[in-house]
Structure 1
């Protein structure tokens, strides 16, 4: 395992756990920790963003990617897909709307799957 992959794995795991814990803290009313959950989730997002920058730096690439219309569109599509998946999960887990939650969550997954050909392209 290369050093770049190891550092990315550690930082990604820490950021993902913090973000997931923050989401649970904020969205589960039984925990009564909404404000703390937002703070923990924000810290997790910051760690994940740092992971991207560190990985690019260790790979010999510039830390920031030039902004283009395609990158803005891909980012917006990723945000919409993630939000749809999250709303679907909330519908099922928090508000007990099983069928609408599954439908919305699956739409979010389909939107996120659309990112693969947009980012990598289709090849023979």
Structure 2
């Protein structure tokens, strides 16, 4: 049986009923360069033509700026498939993207320790 809120696309015993390659129509490369930390946000433009249910869900998640990784987690899809879906939405003007910005060195030891401390507090 599907868990509450999962809709018809997930089954508790079998997993995802629609395989990821079907969601992206077999495509493995996005047309727009997206990093997992890139932020995407809806523009308010209504996409023309048919979009699948995953496109609609992704667009709803992007009402506020959100990272590609967060969208993938919410959709329960691999990051590569999520990038293809998001690039479709960027191509039709429904999403805008912003590359990740680092105000500090992302490999700075103090920054990494702060992230680790935050994660420990969450557990």
Same fold (TM over 0.5): no
Output the TM-score relative to the length of structure 1: 0.23
Larger strand percent: 2
Larger helix percent: 1
